[in-house]
Structures are given as C-alpha cells and as structure tokens.
Amino acid sequence: MAETATEHVDHVGSLLRPPALTEAWFAEEQKKISAAQLKEAQDKAIRDVVKLQEGLGLAFVTDGEFRRGGWSRGFLSAVEGFGFKPSKLTFHNDQGVATAAPAPVAVGKLKQKHPIVAEDYAFLAGCTTRRAKVTMPTPSHMHFGHFGHCFDQKAYKTIDAFFDDLVDIYRAEIQALAGRGCTFLQLDEVPLTLLCDETNRGIAKKEGDDPEKLVDLYIDLINRAIAGRPKSMRVALHLCRGNMQGLWMGDGGYAPIAEKLFNQLDVDAYLMEYDSPRAGDFAPLRHLPKGKRAYLGLVSTKNPAIESADALRKKLDEAAKYAAADQLGLCPQCGFASSAMSKFNVLPNPMTPELQRQKLARLVEVAGRTWGGA
C-alpha cells in the first residue's frame, strides 16, 4: 500500500487537557469524586481528543496522555519503588526564570504494580480506526539528573542490578502491548539530547560520569528494553531538551550524538526538537540511514506564534540537503502539555486549544503540499 502524506506527520503525544478533565483530576485527589468517576471523565476526554486528531487528518493518534499527570508519571506510578525529587539539573528560559528539574529516584526495589500503558492502548485502539500510539519515558530518565545517586543503596547494591530490573519492566510491558495488538510505541528521550549541552556534560563529569560513556549506556539500555518487540511494532524515539510550560534544560545541536543516535539505536523513527536555534542545524541528519525517518519538530509548543507554511517548507528544503526528503517528516517539537499536572510548574502553559488545533493543522497542510504532490 502506498504511503500517504499524513504518515509524514506525527505528534509527540500529550495534548491539552479540557477543563472538565483537569477539574475531575483534582477532585479525585481531594476525594471529592471516586476513581471510577475520574476514569469516566478520562474516557470521555480521550474519545473527544481522538475525534479532534482524526478530524485534522492525522494518521497516528494518541490518548493525549490524559490518564497521567505528566509525560513520565504513568510509568513512575505503575512501578513500585520510585520517588521523585529535584535533581542536579535546572529548567530555565531566556527571561531569567530558573527552577530545579525534578527526576525519579529508586527508594525501593522496582516492581511493576499494574500495566503502564497496555490498558491505555487497549482503550485507545477501541476508539479509532487510525494507528494508535502510546508513549513511555526511556530508561535514561531514571538515571540522568541524580546520576550515581539515582537509587537507594538499601534497594540496590549496584547500578547494574538497578538497570537489569528496569529493563525487565520494559520488556514485560512491551510484551503486554504486543499481546493487545499494539504496533506503535514511542519512547521519550531527554538525557541523550541534554548531553549535547556543555553545561549538562559538566554536571555529569562533576558527578563522576563520563558523558560519552553515558551516551553509549543510554543507547544500550533502550536497545535492551525493546529487544523482544515483535517486528510489527514500530518504535519511535522523541528527543527533547526538556519542556515544562515553556522552560527547557539544554542547548546545543545533535552533532555530538548523531552518528550513534541514528546508527546504533534499534528504532524506526525519531521525533526531533528543531524549533529554535538552540537545536543547531540540520547537518547531523547526514547520518540518518536508509529505512529510518526523522520527523523534524519545527512547530513550537513553547511559542504561541503559528508557523507559516512557507517557512516550514523552506526548513524542509534545507534539511533535504542532508537526508532524503522521503525520509523526513514533521512534528511539534514537544508535547502540548507534557508537564500538565506537575507541582513543579512555575509558569502558565503558553498554548491554548485553538493554537494547538492550528499548529497540528499546519503540519498536515504542509505535509500534503510536500509529500502529497501538491
């Protein structure tokens, strides 16, 4: 079957929560409504957001990550043993706002309590005829930021034992997804991208880690985690420099990691932040091998301005100097609400439902003009 232009469009996963869902979330936390009532609100909101995505013409749809408080919280909530506290890293912006970046810590032995996204997938797949995608954080999220202090010595004697348990949890969840018919998994990767930033590399060194060895470690962990997936399951990697209500954690282009990123990782596609000069140029795309696709995150979820179609096509033309045009795609640079319910938020989200709709529609429009023969 011939590929459609909309298959050159993806989005990172999280979408803006409707007010009724946010209200239900906080009401359940305050014991004003039951967990069943919150689930009912989530189910309705997911059905509605699926209709939005289908109406825009997207080939891949998510549940907006409406069953979790933030991009990594679904994983951490499903696995016994994790705590969450400020790390050695910081979120910041150009206006001088700065706040400590939170990161998980293993305070006990890791044990999966219930499905992470397998049940989420089952509900989502029943709401759409499009290809349903679910998302999870990568294993590196459980290490980078706290580094050698990412686990309590009472829980694990060695870092290898900690990583072995973590990988086993991913493998079990991927098998559960496969058993439910899932054919599209996205892993959200922040640390690899942050290792393109000299400040963050300096923090890693200060904590006793070699940044280059961390790149190798994180790639190996991902490969181990997805090694047992069925051939029918597509895996995409979203690369992010941090996104919390318009704040970020790193600067720097992909050059320091590009060759390993594209050629050593056993994934099928990449969703890459490319919405500002902080992401560098497109030259690293020259390492993209045949058979893989790079979705360029040229549409910002930090900046409310709507990107013009002509500007996006010009950027795609620049990228096509380094990678074949049919290996490229478009996406937002991050999720529209990746830290939706986080207590660490310090600024309001600059996005609105209408801006979200217009930005997603612009991606579909440009894809039609670029890969649809228009």
What DSSP string runs through 183-249?
-EEEEEE-HHHHTTSHHHHHHHHHTT--HHHHHHHHHHHHHHHHTT--TT-EEEEEE-S--BTTBBS
Q: What tokens appear for 152 in the block? A: 């309590």
Give the DSSP letter of residue 151: B
Distance CA 320, CA 259 (A): 17
Q: Which of 116, 92, 254, 252 is nearest to 176 (CA)?
A: 116
pLDDT reported for residue 341:
54
- How many helices and strands in the chain, by DSSP H and E? 11, 10
CATH at 276: 3.20.20.210
Do the bridges between strand 293-299 and strand 269-273 make them parallel or antiparallel, or are there none, so unpaired? parallel
pLDDT reported for residue 149:
87
Residue 132, strand partner residues: 61
pLDDT reported for residue 92:
61
Please tell me the total count of domains within the chain. Answer: 1
Do the bridges between strand 79-92 and strand 328-332 make them parallel or antiparallel, or are there none, so unpaired? unpaired
pLDDT reported for residue 345:
46
- Per-position b or e across 198-214, b if 16+ CB within 10 A of its CB: eebbebbeeeebebeeb
Residue 111 burial class via C-beta count within 10 angstroms: exposed 0-12, middle 13-18, buried 19 and up: exposed
* Range 223-227, long-range pairs (CB < 8 A, 24+ positions): 223/264, 223/265, 223/266, 224/167, 225/138, 225/139, 225/166, 225/167, 225/170, 225/171, 225/174, 225/187, 226/170, 226/174, 226/185, 226/187, 226/266, 226/267, 227/171, 227/266
Which helix (H) or strand (E) element contains residue 12? none
Q: Locate tokens 């070699």: which residue?
A: 210
Q: Which of 12, 8, 7 is nearest to 275 (CA)?
A: 12
The alpha carbon of residue 75 and the mean position of all alpha carbons in its chain are separated, in whole angstroms, by 12
Distance CA 194, CA 199 (A): 9
Q: Which residues of the chain have pLDDT under 50?
A: 1, 342-346, 374
pLDDT reported for residue 1:
42
pLDDT reported for residue 84:
83
pLDDT reported for residue 164:
97
Beta strands in the chain (DSSP E): 60-61, 79-92, 98-112, 131-132, 134-137, 184-189, 234-239, 269-273, 293-299, 328-332
pLDDT reported for residue 86:
80
pTM for the structure as a whole: 0.93
- The per-residue pLDDT for range 332-372, each reduced to its tens digit, is 999 998 765 544 444 567 889 999 999 999 999 999 999 99
Domain that holds residue 348: 5-371
Give the DSSP letter of residue 132: E
